[in-house]
Chain A
Amino acid sequence: GENVEQHPSTLSVQEGDSAVIKCTYSDSASNYFPWYKQELGKRPQLIIDIRSNVGEKKDQRIAVTLNKTAKHFSLHITETQPEDSAVYFCAADNYGGSQGNLIFGKGTKLSVKP
């Protein structure tokens, strides 16, 4: 099955700076890579996802890049704001999606200082 590694575990930036979170995965058959944002005590919320037929996807201040050859994908947040402070999880589909479930990284706690 899939294994997902996520770095860094904590990230502190100044408001207005950019933040980058990186994930690597082990199964070359994986083709769906979502990112979730989780505020303290709340549900994980999907913020962006990418599929393997696309190398980059952008939604306003958030972008995700995927390198299938290297088996890694990254989340980029530009012009960070205090409300971006949360834990971010990357994930990959297991067994190339044949089983449907996601394998999550251990999360990155992002702190944006005003």
Chain B
Amino acid sequence: DSGVTQTPKHLITATGQRVTLRCSPRSGDLSVYWYQQSLDQGLQFLIQYYNGEERAKGNILERFSAQQFPDLHSELNLSSLELGDSALYFCASSVGGAADTQYFGPGTRLTVL
């Protein structure tokens, strides 16, 4: 157990819908990262937050957004869902904002039908 928690574990929804994924970092970690892993694909970096502020942005679609709250948990919002959005979404956390060890949560498996 890495200490990073994610909810829900599984999510099944329809095209066009909107969902919210939640992540709680390890105690003491200030950075939260979101990654997308599609079938047989690697880990694609989406976005990073550090102590409530957006720190870095990767290949995140405009339909996706995220935020980090004062208690440091983070939410990833996915809207106007398409079939191709079906994937595993991982959250990771680290102590600082740069080049620190990242610990991954168990992931949320999103299925868009």
CB distance from A40 to the nearest CB of B (A): 11
Choose, from A12-20, A63-71, A75-83, A101-109, the stretch at the interface: A101-109
Complexed CA–CA distance, A96 and B98 (Å): 9
Do B43 and A99 touch (CB < 8 A)?
no
Chain A residues, CB < 8 A from B43: 44, 89, 104
Complexed CA–CA distance, A98 and B48 (Å): 12
Chain A residue with the shortest CB-CB distance to B41: A106
> Chain B: interface secondary structure?
loop
Complexed CA–CA distance, A88 and B99 (Å): 19
Do A97 and B104 touch (CB < 8 A)?
no
Do A34 and B105 touch (CB < 8 A)?
no
Complexed CA–CA distance, A85 and B77 (Å): 34
Query: Which B residues between 48 and 104 are near A, CB-CB below 8 angstroms?
Result: 48, 50, 55-56, 58, 90, 94, 96-104
Complexed CA–CA distance, A64 and B8 (Å): 35
Chain A residue with the shortest CB-CB distance to B4: A43
Do B45 and A101 touch (CB < 8 A)?
yes
Chain B residues, CB < 8 A from A43: 2, 90, 104-107
Chain A residues, CB < 8 A from B97: 99-100
Query: Which A residues between 28 and 72 are near B, CB-CB below 8 angstroms?
Result: 31-32, 34, 36, 42-46, 49, 51
Do A100 and B50 touch (CB < 8 A)?
yes
CB distance from B96 to the nearest CB of A (A): 7
Interchain residue pairs A-B with the least CB separation, the first 3: A97-B99, A99-B56, A32-B99
Chain B residues with CB under 8 Å of chain A are: 2, 31, 33, 41-43, 45, 48, 50, 55-56, 58, 90, 94, 96-107
19 A-B pairs besides A43-B105, A101-B55 with CB distance below 8 A are: A34-B102, A36-B104, A43-B2, A43-B90, A43-B106, A45-B2, A45-B104, A46-B101, A89-B43, A94-B56, A99-B55, A100-B50, A100-B56, A100-B98, A101-B45, A102-B45, A104-B42, A104-B43, A105-B42
